[in-house]
Amino acid sequence: MSKELIELKNISKSYDGQLVLDDLNLVIHENEFLTLLGPSGCGKTTTLRIIGGFETPDQGQVIFDGQDITSLAPNKRQLNTVFQKYALFTHMDIAENIAFGLRIKNKTDQYIRDKISYALKLVNLEGFEHRMPDSLSGGQQQRIAIARAIVNEPKVLLLDEPLGALDLKLRQDMQYELIRLKKELGITFIYVTHDQEEALTMSDHIVVMNQGYIQQEGTPEDIYNEPENAFVADFIGDSNIITAVMVRDELVRILDVEFPCVDKGFGNEKPVDVVIRPEDVELVKRGEGRIPGVVTHIIFKGVHYEMEVQAGGFEWLVHSTREFPVGTEVDIRVDPFNIQVMNKPASEDEQAIGVEE
């Protein structure tokens, strides 16, 4: 793994007595696409604003390239931000918007001109120099906001839900665009979003947050396939989260039926949560699976059918390319490696702290 660039040490922050971040520790590496993912109010934007310098933490330190920058003003930091809703300067044309940071740094006119055309080319908006921001579409304004940030050659680009205001199609296009930009620029991106699909598509590293705590960190594959607790499992994609008992290593009792699994080290007869992704639940003929059930709902979703199956007193969410009409009697089967066993939190608080590490 590449060099550490930013380190957040024991960051706490509260507003009006409400704790937003509690003893947060995070390391961001050079040239990483890191996403802070979580529901609104989880502290992800506050974390970004602390890195950007728009908020000062109540406690803790922000280390940038070995330097403590906790109380450094935003204009003195070697990073730039792409804000939610773009925040372009509406009284300047596109060229002047992009030139803003360079003019402050007293760059030569020639340098500024070259940078403007380079940046517009990079975001595919050549020829827009003399348009006004208000005459651009949301997607175009967002590209200009990115261009305005990157001409300053920051080491880190902070992006605060930059695609939130765009429609679905444009959002997907911009996701690929951002991945391409990231590769061409070779700098660190710190991205904030509540959209799990966006996070899975773009990131090298995802940090899932809830209620001011980091719930889980890892690659998109880790986060999706091996959620560490029910919150992460529920937040990332659809899932069946079921209370179960770990009978012994590699054997778990779900809804009073024993399933072989691959997890171990939880102890014997220990209550746990298991998560099974809807695409990992197999529906088979009555007698061929482990839990008998009946299909209660079916919706066609394009790529697959989404079904609800009442089985063993639990409503299972099932994705399958095969259609099982409502009322079909089926059995449920799950392969051992598709059962993800998680520790059960003793309380809400412990759920958050327990996985922080």
Partner 1 sequence: MFRDPKKAGAVASPYFAWALIFILVPLAMILWYGLTDESGAMTLANIAAIAQPEHAKSLLLALELALISTLICFLLAYPLGMILAKNKMSSQGIITTIFILPMWMNFLLRTFSWMTLLENHGVINGILEFLHLPAMRVINTPGAIVIGMVYNFLPFMIMPIYNSLAKIDPNVINAARDLGANSVQTFLRVTLPLTVPGIISGVTMVFIPALTTFAISTMLGGSKILLIGNVIEQEFTLTYDWHMGSGLSIVLMIFIVVNMVISAVSEKDDE
Instruction: Give the residues lining the site for partner 1 (CB under 8 A).
Output: 52-54, 73-75, 80-81, 83-85, 87-91, 100-101, 104-105, 148-149, 152
Q: How far is CA 336 from CA 63, 262, 341, in A?
A: 43, 6, 11
- Rounded distance, CA 215 to CA 201, Å? 20
Q: Quick one: 83 or 314, whose CB is closer to partner 1?
A: 83
Q: Quick one: 52 or 293, whose CB is closer to partner 1?
A: 52
Q: Of 216, 199, 226, 158, whose CA–CA distance to 26 is shortest?
A: 216
Shortest distance (Å) from residue 128 CB to partner 1: 18
Shortest distance (Å) from residue 329 CB to partner 1: 57
Shortest distance (Å) from residue 47 CB to partner 1: 16
Q: Quick one: 74 or 267, whose CB is closer to partner 1?
A: 74
Shortest distance (Å) from residue 80 CB to partner 1: 6
Shortest distance (Å) from residue 158 CB to partner 1: 8
DSSP 232-245: HHHHSS--EEEEEE
The span from the first CA to the last CA of the chain, in angstroms, equals 20
The answer to whether residues 163 and 171 touch, using CB atoms and an 8 Å cutoff, is: yes
Shortest distance (Å) from residue 111 CB to partner 1: 15
The answer to whether residues 276 and 339 touch, using CB atoms and an 8 Å cutoff, is: yes
Is 193 strand, coil or helix?
strand
CA angle (151, 154, 160) in 5-degree steps: 95
Q: Quick one: 162 or 289, whose CB is closer to partner 1?
A: 162
Shortest distance (Å) from residue 87 CB to partner 1: 4
Q: How far is CA 157 from CA 185, 189, 192, in A?
A: 10, 5, 11
Shortest distance (Å) from residue 189 CB to partner 1: 15
CA angle (160, 111, 109) in 5-degree steps: 105
Q: Quick one: 74 or 260, whose CB is closer to partner 1?
A: 74
Q: Quick one: 53 or 227, whose CB is closer to partner 1?
A: 53
- Strand 67-68 vs strand 18-29: parallel, antiparallel, or unpaired? unpaired
CA-atom Rg of the chain in angstroms: 24
Q: Quick one: 83 or 324, whose CB is closer to partner 1?
A: 83
Q: Quick one: 166 or 251, whose CB is closer to partner 1?
A: 166
In which region does residue 44 sit, left (phi positive, over 0), alpha (psi from -120 to 50) or beta (all else)? Answer: alpha
